[in-house]
Amino acid sequence: MSTAYRAVGWNRQKRRYDAVAAAGVGVYLAVFIGGGMLVDPQATIETLVIRGCGTAAILLLHIVLAIGPLCRLDPRFVPLLYNRRHLGVTTFVLALTHGVFALVQFHALGDVNPLVSLLVTSREYASLTDFPFQQLGLIALAILFVMAATSHDFWLRALSAPVWKSLHMLVYVAYALVIAHITLGALQAERHPVFPFVLCVGVAGLLALHVQAASRERRRDVERQLQPARVNLAASGFVDACGVDEIADTRAKTVCLSGERVAIFRYDGRISAVSNVCRHQNGPLGEGKIVGGCIVCPWHGYEYEPASGRAPAPFTERLPTFSVRVAGGRVLVNPTPHPPGTYVEPAAFVHDASRTRLRAKRFGEVSP
Partner 1 sequence: MDDEFYIGYEPTMPDRMAVRVRAAASVLVVFAAVLSGVLLVAQGRFAAATFEFGRTRTFEGTLVEYPYPALLVRRSLRNSPAVYWLVGAGKHGASELVKGRDGRMVRVSGTLIERDDDRMIEVSSGDALVDVSPQSRTPIESMRSLSSVVVRGEIVDSKCHLGVMKPGEGPTHRDCAVRCLLGRITPMFVPRGNDTGMGRLALVGADGRPFTEPLDMRVGRPVEIHGELLVRGPLRFLAVRIINVEASL
- Which 51-110 residues touch partner 1, going by CB under 8 A? 51-52, 55-56, 59, 63, 76, 78-80, 82-83, 105-110
Among 95, 118, 143, 156, binds partner 1 (CB under 8 A): 118
Among 40, 268, 345, 352, binds partner 1 (CB under 8 A): 40
359 lines the binding site for partner 1 (CB under 8 A): no
Q: Smallest distance from the beta carbon of 100 to partner 1, in angstroms?
A: 15
Q: Which is nearer to partner 1, 240 or 303 (CB)?
A: 303
Length of the chain: 368
Among 15, 20, 258, 329, binds partner 1 (CB under 8 A): 20
Q: Smallest distance from the beta carbon of 238 to partner 1, in angstroms?
A: 29
282 lines the binding site for partner 1 (CB under 8 A): no
CB atoms inside a 10 Å sphere around CB 91: 27
- Which 123-142 residues touch partner 1, going by CB under 8 A? 124, 128-130, 134
Bridge partners of 274? 263, 321
Q: Which is nearer to partner 1, 229 or 366 (CB)?
A: 366
b (16+ CB within 10 A) / e for 164-184: beebbeebeebbebbbbbbbb
11 lines the binding site for partner 1 (CB under 8 A): yes
- Which 318-357 residues touch partner 1, going by CB under 8 A? none
Q: Which is nearer to partner 1, 22 or 214 (CB)?
A: 22
298 lines the binding site for partner 1 (CB under 8 A): yes
Among 122, 212, 282, 356, binds partner 1 (CB under 8 A): 122
